[in-house]
Structure 1
Amino acid sequence: MKRIYIPANGADDWAQFLAEPVKHWRTGYSARSLAHCWQEAEGFPPEVSEVLNTSEALRGTSMLLGIPEHQVALPGGSTKSQNDVWVLGKRDGELVSIAVEGKVAEPFDRTVAEWLERETPGKHVRLQFLGKTLGLSEMPSTIRYQLLHRTASAILEAERFNAAHALMLVHSFSQTHDWFEDYQAFAALFGIEAELNRVHRAKRVGKVTLHLGWVCGSAEYLGR
């Protein structure tokens, strides 16, 4: 992984980091909506700050830096977990690792069962690693694979930067809350009854406290 990052001067600078820019950098899609929202905020977008404040542990978190399309390596293959935005925050002297997953109408990739249809030894290594990282003894085949590895990436980066907290945050611009039920099913693995616009404490994993959250984004960015 390269260690030098170039600052973005505008939202369009984010497109170069997408795996498929032509396909994903389109008006009304999550990549473009998220980029315009976060770039214009010059910090946390207002709705994100509001949702962070629903958590006693994360209330008042400030944003130190954000990296678009930040890749986190995982064992069991060459494919990395590519965070739409990864944020390093700070709250009362403690660092916070935030993996942001932008959404509009697209699903959280395949279910675990669909992902395992073409089985390889590497996939089983990865699945075991994800379970260990998340502190889960079992992962139902109906859970969306993307939620597993995105949450794990928040924890891994928390460990790398010695952060006390890790947050997997869905920032959805869908005005009908598409795929929220999949997020709810994932959160239920940690005993959470997930709600819109709220951060929930999931569990302690090693030295890191894991949190999950869902933010409803403004419809104005769907037209950017």
Structure 2
Amino acid sequence: MGRFFVPSEGAISWRDFLSNPEKQWKKGYSAFELADCWENASNLPNCVDKVFKKSKLTLFNDVEVLYGFPEYKVALPGGNASSQNDLYVLAKASNELLTIMVEGKVSEPFGETVESWLGDNPSDGKRKRLEYLLKLLGLDEDSVKNIRYQLLHRAASALLEARKVNANNSLMLVHSFSETAKWFEDFTEFVKLFHLSPKQDEIVGPIKLNGINLYFGWVTEVFIK
């Protein structure tokens, strides 16, 4: 991916970055809903803004979006596939830089578990990538076997981008459009690895990893059918 970005012409501009636009760009699907919600916000979407402003974590009480990058790829060692984040937001929070990796969800899961992703005979590339993610996140392999692999590299993306811009704070944020908050349990099991207790519409943390504060959040917004 090139290092140059151009201003969007509205939510439809996000469509071009999808791997399968014909399948993914439909009302009621996360890619469409996320683009529509964030593009129509003057700063943060209302549901995100409310969660931030009511947080007891004062860092989030005054957040200003600086730049947003849809379908943002973060390179990881061990193979050519990057972590393709639905939305990367570089923000200013209480006069500090904050990197936010946003994962949009409606009904689609977080993908396969780490154990399933590895398989019975994992390649050297997969082993190298997992070892890198585990070291970055301060986790061990036995604890993540039943965790959704996508959650690991999304959290890692938030940390890596914070390191790149010398930000002290990062946030992995799930923006859910599911009426039943589908897959929240998977998110919970992941965040619990860091001895945190996540709740819907709340930010939890931080944990300090490699000198960077990492927070986790889940925001639910039901789209209008």
Q: Secondary structure at the match of 1:96?
A: strand
Q: Which moved more, 1:115-124 or 1:146-155?
A: 115-124
Partner amino acid, structure 1, of 2:21: P
Q: Secondary structure at the match of 2:173?
A: strand
Partner amino acid, structure 2, of 1:42: S
Q: Secondary structure at the match of 1:41?
A: coil
Q: Which moved more, 1:29-38 or 1:3-12?
A: 3-12
> Is the alpha carbon distance of 1:50 and 1:209 closer, same or farther for their aligned partners in structure 2, counting shifts above 3 Å?
same
The match for 1:160 is: 164
List aligned pairs for 1:1-224, cutoff 5 A. 1-53=1-53, 54=55, 55-117=57-119, 119-138=122-141, 139-220=143-224, 223=225
Question: Which aligned segments of 4 or more residues in structure 1 are displaced greater than 6 angstroms?
Answer: none
Q: Can you give the 5+ residue segments of structure 2 that lack an aligned partner in the other structure?
A: none
Partner amino acid, structure 2, of 1:77: G
Higher relative contact order (CA 8 A, sep 6+): 1
Does the aligned pair in 2 maintain the 1:190–1:202 contact within 8 Å?
A: no
Root mean square deviation, CA, Å: 1.2
Q: Secondary structure at the match of 1:101?
A: strand
Matches of 2:59 and 2:95, distance apart in 1: 12
Q: Secondary structure at the match of 2:81?
A: coil
Matches of 1:133 and 1:47, distance apart in 2: 30
TM-score (norm 1): 0.95
What displacement does 1:91 show?
1.7
What displacement does 1:147 show?
0.5
Matches of 2:164 and 2:182, distance apart in 1: 33
What displacement does 1:17 show?
0.3
Q: Secondary structure at the match of 1:142?
A: coil
What displacement does 1:133 show?
1.2
Q: Secondary structure at the match of 1:131?
A: helix
What displacement does 1:34 show?
0.5
Q: Can you give the 5+ residue segments of structure 1 that lack an aligned partner in the other structure?
A: none
What displacement does 1:79 show?
0.5
What displacement does 1:57 show?
2.6
What displacement does 1:217 show?
1.4
Matches of 2:149 and 2:104, distance apart in 1: 15
Q: Which moved more, 1:160-169 or 1:202-211?
A: 202-211
Does the aligned pair in 1 maintain the 2:174–2:219 contact within 8 Å?
A: yes
Matches of 2:145 and 2:79, distance apart in 1: 20
Count of aligned positions: 221
TM-score (norm 2): 0.95
